[in-house]
């Protein structure tokens, strides 16, 4: 029960923080796997992240369907279900439409790590294109568990995937890590966007010319001081 | 009476929300057709949108003239009158000067949908150029019902038209839809501006190379959760 | 006395508004000619504009020297003195370092009007280069009445001049007009910066190819509704 | 004791101001040499700068180790230690990851002074590349006194050095000067980024074509009015 209480509280905090930091706007969502129940996850009812309260949290199975009858849920809950099903190591997921990453979802220029905290991007940032996958492109939304599985397959072992003309999914192993990855991804995209236009842009690489393979965990502060900082900015402390 | 009360309240909310979101600044305006009186619409007296209160709302006919004597009204009220006269399906209109869309009004690069919520732009975004239409370009303002009709003709069946070196008009069928279209238009313009400069930019299209024809309604959330979100940000809840 | 009271109050308001709108930051200043005493003007003691109070206002002559002993004044007060001496029509002046206009002070690309409210730029925006004028370029500051006169000569009859690698001067005939011109100049620079990079950028011109000669007064709203708006945002109402 | 009390208070203020101005975010840090004890400096425990309080300040020696046992300190404290050891003239240091300067750390386009207050950049802005210096690039962090010394050597007599794909170090002789340099550096980088893309960009130079050699002190206002301004914005007055 204690672990669940903590996850529920962190899930509300992550929703509000990512709203405050404008990673999420009216849309997008954050979920968490239920501790000790790996086949279930928590996600808010269909509500804007910055407004989410604990009473809004609903429980879902790995088919993306709610465990119990309840209020309307997000159409794209299948994104979360399919990734939790495919990735045992993942306990937190954010689907967002941050403005900074969208141009990279449209371009042949790949997102790559250009700042020291972005080591988790070194394995590559795949782009999932619904046009390659589905005859139904009326909304570009991930409306079914099959579409979710296609996206999860594209994500593979990566920490981030882009959805062409739509947004991104970011995965993590705790609320602070998820928030850190979302905010670092946003900063990295802003810096890369500017760097690509500034004279000769040198990709980050060692003397041997091989792309940088940063340790994704090397810059995770053990003190979680960014979590304290983001909570303060969101009015949660 | 009930429907009118709701529209008046929503009209004040839409003014304040679009001010808060910086789609409107000191200038620009929002109007709504009067329920059950399709020949009349409501528009504030000449006041900045973010400051509009219910007592500021005035009633106009489809010639753009106020139904009764009253305080000074916006010079460009003819934009609204002419579009309501030409478009039975339109009940809400915003005229704005959002910074993000202005560069596209000056360039040969057309605004096109590059994010999944922008399906309502797939029919095209015409650009109205007052230099093509009028000998009087001293102010570039839409100062007469004739100028308004010229603009309405350029808009045609589209959801958005740009006014060269001036701004845009956005139309909708409810306050939440109008606010959604205005904010999505702004996001789309920001993303496209960045994407155009990022290596090889691929327009959004299917495998057959035909431009994406998104269903404009497919991403309209039935729960209007963005309306709740924007109201909260504007201090209206 | 009444006119002077109004000018003193408007001068504090203009300082605070232009600080709030980030046209001014820690530095920069705003002045007003004293009604009925065209040889004197008011300017704050050396204090950041957003913090200026009525008790900070000092009186200066057209040589740039304070009329009475008092607290430290801005080094660059000569900018104001020399422009008031050269331009009978000017009663309000702002010297600012807005980020948006600085790139145009460094480039051969001239600022030109690209939005409908910027008719006051149609006469051209000269760039004053202290390197052309002075052997002392240690600070690039306008430190003497002679340097001020050189800048005033460059300004000529225009409404705005840029100072290379430094900022701008903007002149007006009232506090609302000065604030309007400063904020429109900023918006125009942002739009032009983006438009220059967006495919083929067409300058604003009539069918005959002649540059637009907008009437600088044509878009000045008689209701000064932008002044009400900016006062509200700055917490002055 | 008085001088120490003032430095401790200024150090908290500088942390909070640079957080408020978004020069620092969750990460980065500010230090000050202890008056009368040039072999020791003050730095917060590992906490986000905007949250730092006087009770968080710890004392370090020039080897980068804390003088006494205590709470966890920043991994990169060696940056400060090595620069204080190498530079007698430096009493204040900020290590930050401001977004505006990061693209210049990745590019062959050098940061150079393009605004009048940036004379302290005229001596050049070296870029330190950990890939040139260390076999351990797992985190790109400055994790040892040896890495700190390498960075200090690269900084030399300059006021600012960039850390490739990581951030910058800025040095000063007082809290107001450090804050001024950090905020001017940020403004300069924004202006240069935009100017590089705007047609033909002319570097700042005299008629003889030699780069501008501004006096770094010439624009330091004797009244420290920017310090008052930044304190007010950070809620410290």
CB A75 within 8 A of CB A143: yes
**pLDDT tens for residues B171-220?**
999 999 999 999 999 999 999 999 988 877 777 776 677 788 777 777 77
Q: 0.90 cut: is pTM over it? A: yes
Please, what is the average pLDDT of chain C? 93
Contact partners of B by the rule of 3+ C-beta pairs under 8 A? Answer: A, C
pLDDT at D207: 67
Q: Is the pLDDT of residue C205 over 70?
A: yes
Q: Which residue has the tokens 């000619």?
A: C33
The per-residue pLDDT for D161 is 98
pLDDT at D34: 98
CB contact under 8 A, C106 and D116: no
pLDDT at A205 over 90: no
pLDDT attached to residue A207: 67
| Residue-wise pLDDT tens digits, A133-180 | 777 788 899 999 999 999 999 999 999 999 999 999 999 999 999 999
DSSP H stretches of helix in D21-165: 77-86, 102-106, 130-133, 145-155
User: Which residue is catalytic, options B22, B54, B65, B76?
Assistant: B76
Reading the block at residue D92, the tokens are 């204040």
Q: How many CB atoms lie within 10 A of CB D115?
A: 26
Chain A hits for D166, Cβ within 8 Å:
115-116
The overall average pLDDT reported for chain A is 93
Question: What pLDDT, in 10s, does the model give residues B113-124?
Answer: 999 999 999 889
What is the number of other CB atoms lying within 10 angstroms of the CB of residue B221?
18
Q: Is the pLDDT of residue C207 over 70?
A: no
Of B131-135, C43-47, C78-82, D178-182, least confident by mean pLDDT is B131-135
Q: CB distance C140–D221 less than 8 Å?
A: no
| pLDDT, average across residues B71-81 | 97
Q: How far is CA C236 from the centre of its chain?
A: 21
How many CB atoms neighbour CB B67 within 10 A? 11
By CA distance, what is D220's nearest residue in C? C139
> Model ipTM?
0.95
- The mean pLDDT of A185-203, rounded to a whole number, is 89
pLDDT score for D147 = 95
The chain C residues in contact with chain D (CB within 8 A) are: 25-27, 46-48, 50-51, 72, 75, 97, 99, 102-104, 106-109, 131-132, 137-141, 164-167, 193, 196-197
Q: What pLDDT is stored for residue C1 in this prediction? A: 65
pLDDT at residue C216 tops 80: no
DSSP symbol at D203: P
Which letter does DSSP use for residue D115 in this model? S
Give, for all 237 residues of chain D, the pLDDT tens digit.
699 999 999 999 999 999 999 999 999 999 999 999 999 999 999 999 999 999 999 999 999 999 999 999 999 999 999 999 999 999 999 999 999 999 999 998 999 999 999 999 988 999 999 988 777 788 899 999 999 999 999 999 999 999 999 999 999 999 999 999 999 999 999 999 999 888 777 777 766 777 887 777 777 777 889 999 999 999 998
End-to-end CA distance of chain C: 23
E-assigned strand segments in chain B: 29-34, 37-44, 57-61, 92-96, 127-128, 160-163, 167-172
Residues of A acting as catalytic residues = 76
The string of pLDDT tens digits covering residues A62-117 is 999 999 999 999 999 999 999 999 999 999 999 999 999 999 999 989 999 999 99
For every residue of A16-68, DSSP letters joined together read HHHHHTTSS-SS-EEEEEETTEEEEEEEEBSS-GGG--GGGEEEEETTS-BSS
How confident is the model at residue C123, as a pLDDT?
87
How high is the pLDDT of residue A123?
87
- Tokens representing B213 are 């024809």
pLDDT-above-90 percentage for chain A: 81
- How many A×B Cβ pairs under 8 Å? 103
Strands B57-61 and B37-44: what pairing?
antiparallel
Q: Which residue of chain C is at minimal alpha-carbon distance from B103?
A: C195
User: Average pLDDT of B83-112?
Assistant: 96
Whose tokens are 């590019």? That residue is: D107
Contacts of B218 in chain A (CB under 8 A): 138-139, 141
pLDDT tens digits for B186-196?
A: 999 999 999 98
For residue C205 the two structure tokens come to 């011109």
pLDDT digits (tens, 9 = 90+) for C8-18: 999 999 999 99
Residue D146: the pLDDT is 95
CA-CA distance, A191 to A186, in Å (whole number)? 9
Which chain A residue's Cα is nearest to D102? A191
- Per-residue pLDDT tens over the stretch C57-111: 999 999 999 999 999 999 999 999 999 999 999 999 999 999 999 999 999 899 9
Residue C213: HSE in the Cβ half-sphere, 13 Å Cα cutoff: 5
Taking residues C126-142, report their average pLDDT: 87
d(Cα C223, Cα B73) in Å, to the nearest integer?
Answer: 10
Interface partners of C (3+ CB pairs, < 8 Å)? B, D
pLDDT of residue D35: 97
Residue A49 — very low, low, confident or very high, per pLDDT cuts 50/70/90?
very high
Starting at the earlier edge strand, list the strands of the sheet with C37-44: C57-61, C37-44, C29-34, C92-96, C167-172, C160-163, C127-128
């Amino acid at each position: 029960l204690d672990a669940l209480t903590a996850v529920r509280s962190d899930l509300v905090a992550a929703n509000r923080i990512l709203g405050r930091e404008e990673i999420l706007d009216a849309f997008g969502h954050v979920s968490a796997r239920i501790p000790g129940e790996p086949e279930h996850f928590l996600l808010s009812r269909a509500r804007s992240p910055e407004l989410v309260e604990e009473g809004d949290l609903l429980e879902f199975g790995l088919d993306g369907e709610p465990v119990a009858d309840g209020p309307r849920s997000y159409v794209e809950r299948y994104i979360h279900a399919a990734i939790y099903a495919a990735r045992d190591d993942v306990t937190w997921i954010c689907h967002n439409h941050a403005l900074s990453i969208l141009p990279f979802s449209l371009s042949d220029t790949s997102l790559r790590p250009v700042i020291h905290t972005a080591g988790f991007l070194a394995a590559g940032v795949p782009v999932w294109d619904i046009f390659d996958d589905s005859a139904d492109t009326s909304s570009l939304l991930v409306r079914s568990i099959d579409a979710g599985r296609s996206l999860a397959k594209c994500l593979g072992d990566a920490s981030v995937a882009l959805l062409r003309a739509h947004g991104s999914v970011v995965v993590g192993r705790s609320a602070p890590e998820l928030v850190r990855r979302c905010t670092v991804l946003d900063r990295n995209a802003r810096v890369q966007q500017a760097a690509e236009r500034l004279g000769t842009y040198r990709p980050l690489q060692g003397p041997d010319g091989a792309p940088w393979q940063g340790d994704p965990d090397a810059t995770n502060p053990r003190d979680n001081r960014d979590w304290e900082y983001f909570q303060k900015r969101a009015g949660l402390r």
